[in-house]
Structure 1
Amino acid sequence: MEANSVVLSSCYSTSYPSYSAASPLSNFSTLAIPSSYSSLQSAKPHLIFNHYHFPKSPRFFLTCSGGPTPNRTPLLRPPSALVFHDDQLIENSASSLAPSSSSSATDILPKIDKSGRFCSPRAARELALLILYASCLEGSDPVRLLEKRINARREPGYGFVKELLMEYNHMSFGGPPVTVTTVEEADELLLQDQKESEIEAEVLSAPPKLVYSKLILRFTRKLLVAVVEKWDNHVLVIDKVAPCNWKNEPAGRILELSILHLAMSEISVLGTRHQIVINEAVDLAKRFCDGAAPRIINGCLRTFVNDLKGTSKLEASS
């Protein structure tokens, strides 16, 4: 490499190089972090607490391998009380609109409906991840947190620029390191990344009713209800399939574990085809996580699906 070359590393997401304060996830969950966590530390800057405080509610405690599972108390109404009447509509939308990892960039740009709001299942999965992440930080019920965000009053004078939705890209993750030959080119790339981060922060922190269609908000709620319904079971599954370092440091892997919970719940409860769900989960990991997370999540989910098929065959034969 020439001496005057400048290398910019874009490991999976150039928009979030080190989970800085400009990260959409950090902005989204700012209000959800209790003040008691402010003096604690974590392996990632945006997780300002350690696993001894994660989280306050036993139901949202991620067990470590070999450790006892705490007694859990139900925090929600029975899932049967949260049934929707447009299941088929949402399922069809999820199957037909969810893009695969092989889609081109133009195919997976955000889909906007006639009202100027996101209407793709990918937007619902992303919103569900943000809500689940924030609920884990504060130890709250994700379904109620979603409803709280949806029904929150807007600040006087608040205005949201809907044109930002057209510039928002759900697939804003990078690839190999980018090499430039001048400082000017490096500065231009950094400015572009900063602009994308500002757009993402503005969109993801806006009131959900201004950003997402009613169909997508209902689908998001269905995803979170499914997560709550299967949480305890999937904690045990994750304890078997996840790598030891994830289980030993759950506070540093909330994003990755949340993606696993969302994907497993969508497959087992909502019945979405596992090929679609795994592709979507891997893309979420590429977008919001770092390192080998996408590959590990892919492997964990494929193991989960194979075990699920084996269990179904065993039940059918008996």
Structure 2
Amino acid sequence: MEAAPAVLTFSPSSSSPAGPRPCRVLAGPAPRRARALAAPHPPRAVASSRAPLVVSSPPPPPAASGTPATTPAHAKVDRSGRFCSPRAARELALMISYAACLEGADVVRLFDRRISARREPGYVFDKACLLSYNHMSFGGGPLEVGTEEEAEKLTSQNEMDSANEAEVLSAPPKLVYNSFVLRLTRELLVAVASGWNKHVDILDKIIPQTWKDEPVARILELCILHIAMAEMTSKGTPHKVVINEAVDLAKRFCDGGAPRVINGCLRTFVKDHVDNTGTSQAAESKA
């Protein structure tokens, strides 16, 4: 007898009078880079230095000589030295959603638990890590280089970037994100939880069959879709902004053709299930 497909569950709503209800997640193994969202960041994979020499995720080009060093625009930190951009909130929401699916936990309760968690004695966080952290560091195909020296240089840069990301993503959220980001993240997660069951039914109609055949391998991609759909229907953010942000999250944390698929799924969602004001048509029809 053929085994039933794996289905993950988690309780999306902690405020329901009937108590939390397990619900389906159209989502085994996670993509390599996705594991950074739930566990300390592993070093990024680098191919052997034997010819042809290849490395992944090349660093940005250095500033021209004589140009004064400035804070990178992508860092987007406030005067307190914490992330302050909506992109940081979406990334944090993805981190919590992904971890909640893996643990079978409630997304809002998991967020609150992480925010209120006590720091380990003696823990010190270097805020300089935030200035080096790049929200726009996307994956991609291998990069060919001409010499072993170039390969070693890029490999070293990859390792430093990975260590920096691990430090940022594993740090207590209050040290990394300002109050605006934390508030927006919680609002997104509440919206994700309240719309989860409805959006699962919609996703079942718009995601490709290959994703339905391997839902447990697509936890991360489906979390990105849930966050984007929840933001469209609850926050009133322009559709184009939400879709672009979701595609960028997929470029950053997913593998393969996920960004293209997510773009197509969200455009279908907007066309068929959301009106021009950002209100879910399905919700209105039931009202």
TM class by shorter chain equals 0.7 to 0.9
Q: What is aligned with 1:61?
A: 24
In structure 1, how many angstroms separate the alpha carbons of the residues matched to 2:223 and 2:81?
29
In structure 2, how many angstroms separate the alpha carbons of the residues matched to 1:188 and 1:107?
21
> Taking structure 1 as reference, are residues 108 and 250 closer, same or farther at Cα in structure 2, changes over 3 Å only?
farther
Q: What is the identity, as a one-letter code, of the residue corresponding to 2:24? A: F
CA deviation string 1:148-168 (max 9, x = no partner):
001000000000000110000
Q: Does 1:147 align with 2:147?
A: no
Q: Does 1:165 align with 2:136?
A: no
Q: Tell me if the contact between 1:285 and 1:294 (Cα under 8 Å) persists in the aligned partners.
A: yes
Q: Tell me if the contact between 1:239 and 1:247 (Cα under 8 Å) persists in the aligned partners.
A: yes
Q: State the secondary structure of the residue aligned to 1:61.
A: strand
Structure 2: state its 5+ residue gaps.
12-20, 28-70
In structure 2, how many angstroms separate the alpha carbons of the residues matched to 1:261 and 1:182?
44
Shift of 1:248: 1.8
In structure 1, how many angstroms separate the alpha carbons of the residues matched to 2:266 and 2:112?
29
Give % identity: 60
Q: What is aligned with 1:278?
A: 243
Q: State the secondary structure of the residue aligned to 1:52.
A: coil
CA deviation string 1:245-282 (max 9, x = no partner):
11121110000000000000000111111110000000
Q: Tell me if the contact between 2:75 and 2:135 (Cα under 8 Å) persists in the aligned partners.
A: yes
> Taking structure 1 as reference, are residues 193 and 300 closer, same or farther at Cα in structure 2, changes over 3 Å only?
same
Q: What is the identity, as a one-letter code, of the residue corresponding to 2:158? A: D
Shift of 1:52: 3.0
Q: Tell me if the contact between 2:139 and 2:253 (Cα under 8 Å) persists in the aligned partners.
A: no
Q: Does 1:194 align with 2:148?
A: no
Q: Tell me if the contact between 1:60 and 1:139 (Cα under 8 Å) persists in the aligned partners.
A: no
In structure 1, how many angstroms separate the alpha carbons of the residues matched to 2:23 and 2:244?
25
Q: Does 1:255 align with 2:220?
A: yes
Q: What is aligned with 1:31?
A: none
Q: Does 1:137 align with 2:91?
A: no
Q: Does 1:207 align with 2:172?
A: yes
Shift of 1:63: 4.6
Q: Tell me if the contact between 2:9 and 2:23 (Cα under 8 Å) persists in the aligned partners.
A: yes
TM-score (norm 2): 0.74
Shift of 1:196: 0.4
Shift of 1:299: 0.1
Q: Tell me if the contact between 1:110 and 1:166 (Cα under 8 Å) persists in the aligned partners.
A: yes
In structure 1, how many angstroms separate the alpha carbons of the residues matched to 2:131 and 2:238?
28
Q: State the secondary structure of the residue aligned to 1:55.
A: strand
Q: What is aligned with 1:232?
A: 197
Structure 1: state its 5+ residue gaps.
1-49, 65-105
In structure 2, how many angstroms separate the alpha carbons of the residues matched to 1:53 and 1:302?
26
Q: State the secondary structure of the residue aligned to 2:92.
A: helix
Q: What is aligned with 1:267?
A: 232
Could you list the runs of 4 or more consecutive aligned residues of structure 1 that deviate by over 6 angstroms after TM superposition? none
1:246 alignment partner, one of 211, 219, 231: 211
CA deviation string 1:291-311 (max 9, x = no partner):
000000000000000012467
TM-score (norm 1): 0.67
- What is the CA RMSD across the aligned residues, in angstroms? 2.3
Q: State the secondary structure of the residue aligned to 1:172.
A: coil
